[in-house]
């Protein structure tokens, strides 16, 4: 915490730390400036219902909702048009309790005592699923995972002043709301679909932290695009709880407010018909939705990140390694840092945060930057995303994979894509391959990528495994091309002799590498536990 206190003295607010879940969390020791802030975000029961939405106890069990993990005795009803919706209210209004109306989707939110009221309705019935701010990452974080800290901009390859990046781009943050904070230099418009605490309780800071990764301007909590116009849409209460009805309503509110980009650092295990309809409408109106993959460490991506038309974002550490808690699956489109990131917190504070909640806004901020910087005209969200994908730094499997998607953003590459004379051979990543017929002891696979703008000629690649070095020469490698190199292992990490060490280096021939920092990658593969 000593570093945090030094930074506090310089920048005028405290840097607190959210710990990974542990059996016991030690509290920091007070110093001469008072007691350090310490905050943990507790796990929220998946099926917790918001007080006031539970309705009266029902003698009729709603097995369909309960078995699906949805809110019991509630539904969203979607009608063909407004006239059909009004006709339902005229005919069945006394049989249900109307909790909400969403004219943009011709939808009603209802609660009921008897599920049979849903039979033979002239409407589509949609379950309402819990949606929540992801708790601190479940599962484990691999040993040696690198925290990002305040290095977001340099990690993205950003140099110089980025204060105006994103100017004119409207970014909606669907979350617990964005509190007032000095890190936001522009105006923040606010739409509270869920009321703020009426008893003066502090506002949940998750939405503020997320927004600061997009648009923060403080050197300690830097954002990618401080020039964006933030739209805070509060869809979660003080426990971080929301549901698919509020989420769908928030998406429509964002589009109605003119949002170009919609960040959703929340997730659900339920695939909501209502949310899918809202996504379709947002997409048709030109908005792009970016959402967190989830922190459960499972092979299943949270919704809405897993929905068609949404950019699902997984998590890596600062060295580009997949974080074990980051969910995997076909819904992961791209990845960004999600471990030990400096972010703003209500009360003019800072916080170190972890989770894919904070990977998603890195992508959102990057898209805003690409839309507005280095182009002769403002790009559309989809045009910006196409550039982000084209110039992504590959890792994991060559090409797209279930853990990292197409790779990680590199704003430096995107913004300098038309600048000639850039030579950049990079070791993208390495991974272990299981033993098989081709490799009885297994193998290591190394990705080498040309991240420059010029073709590389005669690039030497050296792969040292436990001190045994293999050298290969890549004759030519076109800009943005990726080459996979496999080297057989002489032993496995589980043979009783301890970890396997790996060192990979690349060296360009007769030209100066523009970014030598990515020419060397050293890793250790420990025995399986």
**Closest alpha carbon to 381 in 389, 371, 373, 390:** 371
User: How many residues are there in the chain?
Assistant: 529
What is the C-alpha to C-alpha distance for residues 382 and 375, in angstroms, rounded to an integer? 14
Question: Virtual CA dihedral for 279, 283, 289, 294, nearest 10 degrees?
Answer: 40
Q: Are 428 and 445 in contact (CB under 8 A)?
A: no
In the block, residue with structure tokens 């930074």? 7
What is the C-alpha to C-alpha distance for residues 236 and 243, in angstroms, rounded to an integer? 8
Q: Is 195 a catalytic residue?
A: no
Q: Are 62 and 54 in contact (CB under 8 A)?
A: no
**Closest alpha carbon to 489 in 441, 446, 438:** 441
Q: Which candidate in 212, 326, 335, 357 is catalytic?
A: 357
Q: Is 357 a catalytic residue?
A: yes
Question: Virtual CA dihedral for 211, 212, 213, 219, nearest 10 degrees?
Answer: 170
SS3 77: strand
Q: Which candidate in 206, 354, 410, 503 is catalytic?
A: 206
Show the CA angle centred on residue 384, arms to residues 429 and 426, nearest 5°.
20
Neighbours of 515 (CB within 10 A): 16
What is the C-alpha to C-alpha distance for residues 303 and 281, in angstroms, rounded to an integer? 17
Q: Which candidate in 133, 175, 317, 394 is catalytic?
A: 175
Runs of H (alpha helix) within 69-155 = 82-92, 152-155
Show the CA angle centred on residue 484, arms to residues 480 and 488, nearest 5°.
160
Positions marked active-site: 175, 206, 357
């Amino acid at each position: 915490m000593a570093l945090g206190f030094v930074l506090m003295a310089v920048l005028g607010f405290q840097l607190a730390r959210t710990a990974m879940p542990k059996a016991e969390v030690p509290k920091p020791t007070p110093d001469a400036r008072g007691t350090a802030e310490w905050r943990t975000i507790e796990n929220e029961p998946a099926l917790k219902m918001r007080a006031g939405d539970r309705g009266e106890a029902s003698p009729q069990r709603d097995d369909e909702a309960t078995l699906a993990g949805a809110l019991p005795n509630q539904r969203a009803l979607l009608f063909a048009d407004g006239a059909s919706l009004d006709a339902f209210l005229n005919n069945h209004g006394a049989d249900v309790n109307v909790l909400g109306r969403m004219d943009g989707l011709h939808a009603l939110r209802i609660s009921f005592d008897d599920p049979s009221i849903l039979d033979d309705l002239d409407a589509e019935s949609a379950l309402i699923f819990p949606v929540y701010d992801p708790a601190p990452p479940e599962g484990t974080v691999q040993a040696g995972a690198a925290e990002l800290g305040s290095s977001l901009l340099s990690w993205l390859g950003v140099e110089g002043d980025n204060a105006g990046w994103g100017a004119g781009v409207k970014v909606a943050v669907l979350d617990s709301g964005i509190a007032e904070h000095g890190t936001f230099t522009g105006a923040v418009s606010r739409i509270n679909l869920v009321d703020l605490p009426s008893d003066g309780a502090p506002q949940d800071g998750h939405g503020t932290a997320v927004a600061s990764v997009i648009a923060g301007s403080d050197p300690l909590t830097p954002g990618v695009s401080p020039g964006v116009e933030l739209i805070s849409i509060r869809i979660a209460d003080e426990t971080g709880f929301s549901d698919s009805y509020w989420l769908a309503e928030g998406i429509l509110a964002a589009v109605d407010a003119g949002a170009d980009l919609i960040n959703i650092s929340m997730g659900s295990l339920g695939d909501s018909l209502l949310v899918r309809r809202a996504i379709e409408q947002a997409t048709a109106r030109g908005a792009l939705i970016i959402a967190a993959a989830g922190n459960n460490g499972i092979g299943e991506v949270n919704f809405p990140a897993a929905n068609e038309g949404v950019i699902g974002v997984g998590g890596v550490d600062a060295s580009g390694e997949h974080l074990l808690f980051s969910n995997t699956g076909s819904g992961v489109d791209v990845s960004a840092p999600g471990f030990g990131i400096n972010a703003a917190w209500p009360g003019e504070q800072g916080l170190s945060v972890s989770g894919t909640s904070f990977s998603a806004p890195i992508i959102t901020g990057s898209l805003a930057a690409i839309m507005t910087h280095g182009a002769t005209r403002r790009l559309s969200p989809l045009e910006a995303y196409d550039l982000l994908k084209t110039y992504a730094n590959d890792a994991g499997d060559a090409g797209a994979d279930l853990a990292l998607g197409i790779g990680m953003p590199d704003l430096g590459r995107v913004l300098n894509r038309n600048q000639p004379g850039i030579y950049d051979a990079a070791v993208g990543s390495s991974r272990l391959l299981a033993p098989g017929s081709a490799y009885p002891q297994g193998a290591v696979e190394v990705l080498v990528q040309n991240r420059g703008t010029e073709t590389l000629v005669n690039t030497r690649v050296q792969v040292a495994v436990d001190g045994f070095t293999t050298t290969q020469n890549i004759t030519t490698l076109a800009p943005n091309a990726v080459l996979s190199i496999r080297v057989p292992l002489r032993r496995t990490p589980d043979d009783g002799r301890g970890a396997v060490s790996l060192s990979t280096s690349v060296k360009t021939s007769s030209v100066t590498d523009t970014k030598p920092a990515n020419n060397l990658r050293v890793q250790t593969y420990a025995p399986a536990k």
